[in-house]
Chains A and B, each alone.
Chain A
């Protein structure tokens, strides 16, 4: 099947591992991702913090471009997803004349995790599993933006989402339950107020360990960056020792399918994600 694809700015650089694993998984499922031609930045936190008009018009431009193609659009970055959904909601309430094309709302905007965890695709994913990840104990960390606020995202289980849990169980993973699935990681504060991110993320690490997990699985490149990149710094500040690899769910799908490329994706992480998988005999 063919869908439109809005990768977002991070997937072009810092989240290259996410991009590569998405391409592999979608390729394997026969999903043709057609990148929206000449897409632009969604404006992210910066736009809605500084300018109401741009916070709708910037994601709105991409919606109008996607609608010209006429296919549903899949969005891997929860921040972009949230901004596109907000724009969809606002434009339908009030037309924005500044947009280059018309947007009627006939296409659907999908969060990638939601898209891949729908029943038929889930069974397709499960059918391709060559090595169940049965000794791997993880927690699923969903973050904020794919689920909240539900009136924008349209998600029912926004306090206790289940789709990543279900997907990882289908790969054979031991998924631990915990109460911090949607607690914030501090997101874009990582540049100007890293102290806020360090405090929030250290709390999460402790909860991950309490839950008895040895790794974290995410669907958001901002969560991945905030949990993976400063781990050594956080350990030093709080005088603790942490070694918690942070995998994208698409990377683990790839590992369960015995993807040869998996090592390349994983080599881009900051916290070594390979030793754990080697110990389990998975790579």
Chain B
């Protein structure tokens, strides 16, 4: 009987070193018990399970991880981090991976999720606080999601929801700005 051909992977320890040094989180402690994946509520939307992300890092499969939807789909509920028997901050690793993509201006596999984070951060930088009334509209324009929502007509439902919320006194007409905007700007500049 012929043996199936297996793909060989060359291990690359550079990636795990980069993550462990950059985040201070010890991914090498993972022994693949899969407790993280078993408790994760969003595996149904992931292309790599959390335990696979840990293993891929150990093997140095940087590209595969950077292109995965998983890191963006992670809801940061911290169940994995809480339950890991080796105390690996798995949600923290997901954050570190997302931050690296942003820092290197890479492409996010879930570009709409990143678009939402970015307009949220822009709002903070601009005023010091988030103006919820403007957030959804800005997100739609920035992400291009309005095109999809126009096609499937869900944009009408969203507009109706917005109007109902406004009537119920849950949306403000004008944003609030803080006085210490210069302090916020300094924090943003420092992070660049």
Within the complex, the shortest CB–CB distance from B180 to chain A, in Å, comes to: 5
Which B-chain residue is minimally distant from A43 (CB atoms)? B124
Instruction: Indicate if the CB atoms of A46 and B121 lie closer than 8 Å.
Output: yes
B14 within 8 A of A: no
B151 on the interface (CB 8 Å rule)? Answer: no
The listed residue with most A CB atoms (<10 A of its CB), out of B77, B96, B115, is B77
**Pairwise interchain contact B170-A268, C-beta atoms closer than 8 A:** yes
Assess the B180–A53 pair: CB atoms within 8 A: no
Given the contacts A13-B170, A51-B191, A187 and B179 also touching, CB distance less than 8 Å: no
B82 engages A158 (CB within 8 Å): yes
User: A41-B130, A149-B81, A200-B42 known; A189 and B171 CB under 8 Å?
Assistant: no
| A41: chain B residues within 8 A (beta carbon) | 123-124, 128-130
Interface residues on B, range: 35 or more
B164's nearest neighbour on chain A, judged by CB, is A270
Q: Which of B76, B113, B132 contacts A193 (CB 8 A)?
A: B113
User: Which residues of B in the span 121-145 have a Cβ within 8 Å of any Cβ on A?
Assistant: 121, 123-124, 128-133, 135-136, 139, 143, 145
Task: Name the contact of A47 in the complex, choosing from B121, B132, B178 (C-beta under 8 A).
Answer: B121
Instruction: List the A side residues contacting B81 at CB < 8 Å.
Output: 148-149
Known A53-B190, A58-B187; contact A40-B128, beta-carbon cutoff 8 A: yes
Complex: A47 Cα to B184 Cα, angstroms:
13
Answer whether residue B169 sits at the interface, using C-beta atoms and an 8 A cutoff.
yes
Contact A57 B191 (CB under 8 A): yes
Q: Which of B41, B112, B168, B172 contacts A268, CB < 8 Å?
A: B168
Interface centre among A10, A40, A184, A270 (most CB of B within 10 A): A40
B176, chain A: closest CB distance, angstroms: 7
Residue pair A184, B171 in contact (C-beta under 8 Å): no
B68 touches A (CB below 8 Å): no
Is A192 a contact partner of B82 (Cβ separation < 8 A)? Answer: no
* Assembled-state Cα–Cα distance A189/B188 (Å): 24
Contact A51 B178 (CB under 8 A): no
- Nearest to A264 among chain B residues (CB) is B169
Would A49 and B168 count as touching, CB distance under 8 A?
no
Identify the closest chain A residue to B168 (Cβ): A268
Q: Which residues of B contact A46 (CB under 8 A)?
A: 116-118, 120-121, 124
1/0 per residue, CB under 8 A from A, across B97-122: the answer is: 01100100000001011111110110
Please tell me if the beta carbons of A184 and B102 are within 8 angstroms of each other in the complex.
no
18 more contacts with CB within 8 A, not counting A40-B178, A49-B76, are A12-B172, A12-B176, A13-B170, A14-B132, A14-B170, A38-B180, A41-B124, A51-B121, A144-B76, A144-B79, A145-B78, A149-B82, A149-B89, A149-B91, A191-B135, A192-B139, A193-B45, A200-B42
Please name 27 pairs of A and B residues whose Cβ atoms are closer than 8 Å in the assembled complex, sorted by A. Answer: A13-B131, A14-B170, A16-B169, A43-B121, A44-B130, A45-B117, A49-B99, A49-B117, A50-B98, A50-B102, A53-B191, A144-B77, A144-B79, A148-B79, A148-B81, A188-B116, A189-B75, A191-B116, A192-B115, A193-B113, A196-B73, A199-B44, A268-B168, A268-B169, A268-B170, A269-B168, A270-B168
Chain A residues with CB under 8 Å of chain B are 9-10, 12-17, 38-41, 43-55, 57-58, 61, 98, 100, 144-145, 148-150, 158, 182-184, 186-189, 191-193, 195-196, 199-200, 229, 233, 267-270
